[in-house]
């Protein structure tokens, strides 16, 4: 069972607020009306995806018997906020600190891969829900809102998974690669395919393709 310290709850709330505002600014730029309109969608479809990544890592660490705690990274939050103004959010809200004197590359890699995989699963769930909701859009604005949240959720979670699997220092990818190169290649390739589909085909077109495929 996951438990959270008072400081951890505070840091999660701070990270959630900064991520929500940053992604909203990225979509709206300096248009206040658009910012207000997109913020609720972003709070559900985007910020939660970023926090799911951190909680996924915490869950696996606790599963292996380690104490783990999410810590907000002030500089990373500043980078996250500043990058929003260029239209691409580099999400560095913080990290899950695992308290262990000696931790193997295997366990460290499994903890690291949990976050991106959580984003990938969330992306697939989002696009599936979007396909189910699509025919109901004309019925109510609520269904339209859920649809928008899910399509944005697919695109953003695909991006977060791919970004964090890059084999660079401080990112999850380098830890996974150090543990098992074959697993990293497979998971990274799947994440990249999902990202390219969200960019090249687009989440809305993917929904239509899914609906057409099911109807056949």
Catalytic residues: 54
Contacts of 162 (CB under 8 A, 6+ apart): 116, 188, 191, 192, 194, 195
CA gap 21, 36 in Å, rounded: 10
Of 38, 168, 178, the C-alpha closest to 108 is 178
């Amino acid at each position: 069972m996951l438990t959270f310290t008072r400081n951890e709850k505070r840091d999660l709330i701070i990270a959630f607020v900064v991520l929500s505002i940053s992604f909203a600014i990225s979509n709206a730029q300096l248009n206040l009306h658009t910012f207000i309109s997109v913020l609720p969608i972003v709070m559900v479809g985007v910020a939660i995806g970023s926090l799911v990544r951190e909680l996924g890592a915490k869950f696996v660490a606790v599963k292996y018997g380690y104490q783990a705690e999410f810590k907000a990274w002030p500089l990373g939050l500043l980078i996250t906020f500043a990058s929003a103004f260029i239209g691409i959010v580099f999400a560095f809200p913080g990290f899950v600190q695992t308290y262990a004197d000696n931790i193997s590359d295997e366990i460290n890699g499994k903890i690291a891969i949990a976050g991106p995989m959580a984003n990938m699963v969330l992306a697939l769930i989002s696009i599936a829900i979007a396909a189910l909701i699509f025919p109901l859009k004309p019925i109510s604005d609520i269904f339209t809102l859920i649809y928008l949240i899910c399509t944005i959720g697919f695109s953003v979670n695909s991006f977060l998974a791919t970004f964090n699997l890059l084999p660079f220092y401080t990112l999850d990818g380098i830890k996974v690669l150090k543990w098992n190169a074959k697993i990293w290649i497979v998971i990274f390739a799947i994440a990249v395919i999902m990202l390219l589909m969200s960019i090249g085909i687009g989440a809305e077109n993917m929904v239509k393709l899914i609906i057409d495929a099911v109807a056949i």
